[in-house]
Chain A
Amino acid sequence: MEEALIEFREVSKHYIMGDSVVKALDLVSFKIMKGEFVAIVGQSGSGKSTCMNIIGCLDVPTDGLYLINGRNVGEMNKNELSEIRNQMVGFIFQQYNLLPKLSVIENVEVPLMYGGVSKSERRRRATEVLSSVGLAEKLRHYPNQLSGGQQQRVSVARALVGNPAILLADEPTGALDSKTGREVLSLFQRLHEAGHTIVLITHDNSIASTAERIIRLEDGRIVYDGPTDREKLVHAGPAEGSAEHESA
Chain B
Amino acid sequence: MSLLESVELSIKNILASKMRALLTMLGIIIGVTAVILIIGLGNGVNIYMADSFKSLGTNTINVMITGRGSSSRKMSVDDMYALVAKNPKYLLRVSPSVRMTGTVKIGNETSSTSVSIGVSEDYFAIKSYTIASGRGLQYSDILDRSYVCVVGSYIAENYFGNNAVGKTLKIGGAYFEIIGVNSKQGDNASGTTDDYIFVPYTTAARLSSTGTITSYVVEIPSVDDSSAAMQIMNDALYEIFMNSNYYTVRSMGEILNTFTSMVNIMVMVLSIIAGISLVVGGIGIMNIMLVSVTERTKEIGIRKALGAKERYILTQFVIEAATTSAIGGFIGIALGYILSSIATNFIKAALQANLPVSPTASSALMAFGISAGIGIIFGYLPAKKAAALNPIDALRNE
A residues apposed to B, CB below 8 Å: 53, 56, 58-59, 78-79, 82-83, 85-87, 91, 93, 97-99, 101, 110-111, 113-116, 119, 158, 162
Q: Which residue of B lies closest to A119 (CB)?
A: B5
Q: Which of B5, B306, B312 is A158 in contact with, Cβ under 8 Å?
A: B306
Q: With an 8 A cutoff between CB atoms, is B305 at the interface?
A: yes
**With A97-B395, A114-B312, A116-B1 given, is the CB distance from A86 to B16 under 8 Å?**
no
Tell me whether A82 and B307 are in contact (CB under 8 A). Answer: yes
Are A85 and B302 in touch, CB under 8 angstroms? no
Interface residues on B, range: 20 to 34
Taking A58-B391, A59-B392, A114-B1 as contacts, is the C-beta distance between A85 and B305 under 8 angstroms? Answer: yes
**In the complex, what residues of A have CB within 8 A of residue B305's CB?**
56, 58, 85, 91, 97
| B positions within 8 Å CB-CB of A | 1, 5, 12-13, 16, 298-299, 302-310, 312, 391-392, 395
Where chain B touches its partner, the secondary structure class is: helix
Please, which residue of chain A has its CB at the minimum distance from the CB of B398? A95
A187 to B303, CA, bound (A): 24
Q: How far is the CA of A113 from the CA of B5 in the complex (A)?
A: 9
6 new A-B contacts, CB < 8 A, other than A99-B302, A114-B303, are A83-B309, A85-B305, A91-B305, A101-B12, A110-B303, A114-B308
Q: How far is the CB of A196 from chain B (nearest CB, A)?
A: 18
A97 surroundings in chain B (CB, below 8 A): 298, 302, 305, 395
A-B contact pairs, 26 of them (CB 8 A): A53-B392, A58-B305, A58-B395, A59-B392, A79-B309, A82-B304, A82-B308, A85-B304, A85-B306, A86-B306, A97-B302, A97-B305, A99-B299, A99-B302, A99-B303, A101-B13, A101-B16, A110-B303, A110-B306, A111-B306, A113-B5, A114-B303, A114-B307, A116-B1, A119-B5, A158-B306
- Chain A residue nearest to B302 (CB atoms) is A97
List 9 A-B pairs, minimum CB-CB distance, nearest first: A86-B307, A114-B307, A82-B309, A111-B306, A85-B307, A97-B302, A58-B391, A114-B308, A58-B392
The CA of A115 and the CA of B304, in the complex, are separated in Å by 12
Known: A97-B302, A101-B13, A101-B16. Is A115-B307 also a contact (CB below 8 A)? yes
Cβ contacts under 8 Å, A53 to chain B: 392
Chain A's closest residue to B308 (CB) is A114
